[in-house]
């Protein structure tokens, strides 16, 4: 059984390790501590049998805009609804803050991620050239939200 829960300080090294294995961008490890310290309300992990197998990080980007910074799931656990559950958890947190828009960026060549976000009603709104460290382009994707 998978457990989605808030990130805790003890999760720092497992998340850094997981991120280095599943994300194509490489981040300074101190970034994860910084994001936890500044945005603990929107940093989640997925645990399976005591092991971190996924994570999601969001932030408040503008007054009423949330931003999905990262979602990562260990390769052997993909296509099991974990990323969906992590994204839904971010959406719940954004909803509690009454955000009206959620944004993210994704590599233009990451077709699986693009399809995943489109399946969750995100739309491509802009292409940014040379966005990533390696010079790759990104799509900015956006979800307009209305909560009833």
Q: From CA 139, how far away is CA 7, in angstroms rounded? A: 27
pLDDT at 148: 57
DSSP 23: -
Asked whether residue 1 carries a pLDDT value surpassing 80, the answer given is yes
pLDDT in tens, 30-74: 888 888 888 889 999 999 999 999 999 999 988 899 999 999 999
Structure tokens at 75: 């390769």
pLDDT at 116: 95
CA distances from 116 to 9, 25, 99, 119 (A): 29, 19, 21, 5
Q: From CA 5, how far away is CA 130, in angstroms rounded? A: 34
CATH value at residue 140: 3.40.630.30
Cα pseudo-dihedral 111, 113, 114, 116, rounded to 10: 120
Number of domains in the chain: 1
The whole domain housing 118 covers: 2-144
Q: What are phi and psi of 108, to 5 degrees?
A: -65, -20
Cα 119 versus chain centre, distance: 15
Q: From CA 89, how far away is CA 83, in angstroms rounded? A: 10
pLDDT at 147: 62
């Amino acid at each position: 059984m998978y457990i989605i829960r808030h990130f805790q300080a003890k999760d720092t090294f497992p998340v850094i390790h997981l991120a280095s294995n599943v994300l194509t961008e490489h981040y300074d490890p101190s970034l994860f501590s910084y994001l936890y310290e500044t945005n603990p309300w929107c940093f989640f992990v997925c645990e399976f049998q005591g092991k971190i197998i996924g994570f999601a990080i969001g932030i408040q980007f503008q007054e009423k805009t949330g931003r999905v910074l990262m979602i990562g799931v260990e390769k052997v656990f993909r296509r099991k609804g974990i990323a969906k559950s992590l994204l839904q958890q971010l959406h719940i947190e954004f909803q509690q803050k009454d955000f009206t828009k959620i944004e993210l960026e994704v590599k233009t060549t990451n077709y699986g991620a693009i399809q995943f976000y489109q399946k969750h009603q995100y739309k491509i709104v802009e292409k940014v050239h040379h966005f990533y460290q390696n010079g790759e382009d990104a799509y900015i994707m956006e979800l307009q939200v209305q909560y009833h």
